[in-house]
Amino acid sequence: MRPFDPAQVAKYPAVIGCDEVGRGALCGPVMVAAIWFNPLLFPPHLLARLDDSKRLDRATRKALTPLIRAHAQVALAAASCGLVDRINVRAATLDAMRRAVTRLGVDAPVLVDGRDIVPGLPLPCRAVVGGDRKIPQIAAASIVAKTCRDEVMRRLSLRHPAYAWERNAGYGTAAHLAGLTAQGRSPHHRVSFTRRF
């Protein structure tokens, strides 16, 4: 069952939702989306389709992304594998979140999925555990970030086919680990996540 009911739209606040994708991957960027919309003005049929990106299949996410972008203000930011290795994945993710929210340029409270509050924002910020099933803007951010990151990894896989990134998006699947064993690290791997290779 999807978490957002258009009949209950008045209970959803007009906030900036922020979420990341790729924090646990072995390679590629951490992708962050920051999204603002007023749920009262958002298409009800689209609101009803929002959910945590992990609960949606790739085709559904890909179909929803341009619809979300057409009806919301959206900003993206990425934390490169180099930044992840330099300052750690948590700090790199929070830096990307700060950049995405700043790039959005909307004066509204910020709700972030998870347990971390984004430092350095001139806006009120609150962390919401399980936010991608509680706050529609966070759900939308998770969908857009996942779709964009999957496309980045698909393109990278054309140059580095040994790791099957087009199927695993850089996560540690058996095929990806087999590629690492056979080929070693690529320039897109996080050294801090793949030291044994």
20 annotated among ligand-binding-site residues: yes
Average pLDDT over the chain reads: 98
List the CATH code of the domain at 6-155: 3.30.420.10
53: closest CA among 148, 128, 156, 188? 148
Query: pLDDT per residue over 78-87, tens digit each?
Result: 999 999 999 9
- For the chain, the domains span 6-155
Residue 19 marked in a binding site: yes
Q: Work out the average pLDDT over 94-109.
A: 98
Q: Is 51 annotated as a binding residue?
A: no
Distance CA 106, CA 30 (A): 22
pLDDT at 2: 86
pLDDT of the residue at 67: 99
Q: Assess whether pLDDT exceeds 90 at residue 29.
A: yes
* Helix runs in 25-135, H state only: 44-47, 58-71, 81-87, 89-104
Question: Hey, how many other C-beta atoms are within 10 angstroms of the C-beta on 113?
Answer: 24
The answer to whether residue 101 scores a pLDDT higher than 90 is yes
Residue 180 pLDDT: 98
Above 90 in pLDDT, residue 125? yes
CA–CA gap between residue 75 and residue 99 (Å, rounded): 9
The closest alpha carbon to 131, from 142, 123, 146, belongs to 142
pLDDT of residue 1: 78
- Flag whether pLDDT at 196 surpasses 90: yes
d(CA 162, CA 51): 32
